[in-house]
Amino acid sequence: MTTDPARPGPRDFEVISFDCYGTLIDWESGILAAMQPVISRHDLVSRPDEILAAYARAESAVEAGPYKPYREVLRRTFAGMAKDLGFAPQADELETLVEALPRWEPFPDTLAGLRALAAAGHKLAIISNVDDDLFAATARTLEVELHAVVTAAQARCYKPGDAIFERAFEVFGVAPGRLLHAAQSRYHDLVPGRRHGVQTVHVVRDSGRGDVGAAPSVDPLDAAEPDWSVPDLAGLVALVGA
């Protein structure tokens, strides 16, 4: 579903919430940059899509189990990637993704889009699968005041679980139908958002690598369709008429 100029945009929403990593922050580039020294050290020949697919498989498997802090998720994800890609990780490498995450950068359109939305008076919020202290470093790169932030650490639940969205409705002070949620991942965000009655916007972020945040068993074509679809935050700004 794409944005149709003749189709009405979102209405009667009080808060715009965002997934962070993959939607506002270019985590694909961040993951690949973090993994490049490891790949070189172990003399591996791995394509970017193979590295990202290994990340998606490992992270989804870890998050599907009992709740663990995201730092531990990243450590176990790295170990899972190592097994998948065929190398034995050295002890100091297990912190690779934990140390890299605070340095992951916004997409080129993110800051201008957030500033435009904030200038139009919209309340902006975050729903993210992350620890609070890790997100604090990222928040400084977004350069806008956020109405509220809900993390997996607060809810002790990772998207697409229900508890993190239920906490968001409580913290944001909005009914599900008055929340507009923008995200890149169908699996983590759009499907559960629609399940809860949230208005959803798919920020496509088509890198050609697919949905890095999708669980391997989920076919995006079978997932619930978002209410609207835009290529980037400039598209979201146009959609809501900021």
pLDDT number for residue 241: 86
Counted residue by residue, the chain has a size of: 242
Sequence-distant (6+) residues with CB within 8 A of 89 are 38, 78, 79, 82
Helix, coil or strand: residue 146: coil
User: Spelled out in words, what is the top-level CATH class assigned to the domain 28-103?
Assistant: mainly alpha
Environment class of 170 (CB within 10 Å of its CB; exposed 0-12, middle 13-18, buried 19+): exposed
pLDDT number for residue 206: 72
pLDDT band for position 78 (cuts 50, 70, 90): very high
Calculate the alpha carbon distances from 158 to 38, 51, 148, 151, 237 in Å: 27, 22, 17, 8, 28
pLDDT, average across residues 20-29: 97
pLDDT band for position 223 (cuts 50, 70, 90): low
Q: Domain ranges for the chain, please list them.
A: 15-26+106-240, 28-103
Average pLDDT taken over every residue of the chain? 91
50, containing H or E segment: helix 48-63
pLDDT, average across residues 166-183: 98
Order of strands, sheet of 199-203, starting from the edge strand that comes earlier in the sequence? 148-151, 123-128, 15-18, 179-183, 199-203, 228-230
- The closest alpha carbon to 146, from 166, 162, 126, belongs to 126
Sequence-distant (6+) residues with CB within 8 A of 50 are 85
pLDDT at 29 over 50: yes
How does strand 15-18 pair with strand 179-183? parallel
pLDDT number for residue 93: 96
| Fold designation for 15-26+106-240 | Rossmann fold (3.40.50)
Please state the pTM of the whole predicted model: 0.90
pLDDT, average across residues 44-67: 94
Cβ atoms < 10 Å from Cβ of 119: 11
pLDDT at 199 over 80: yes
How is residue 47 written in tokens? Answer: 């394509």
Q: pLDDT tens digits, residue range 100-127?
A: 999 999 999 999 999 999 999 999 999 9
pLDDT, average across residues 71-85: 97
By mean pLDDT, which of 69-78, 107-116, 155-164, 203-212 is the weakest? Answer: 203-212
pLDDT number for residue 16: 98
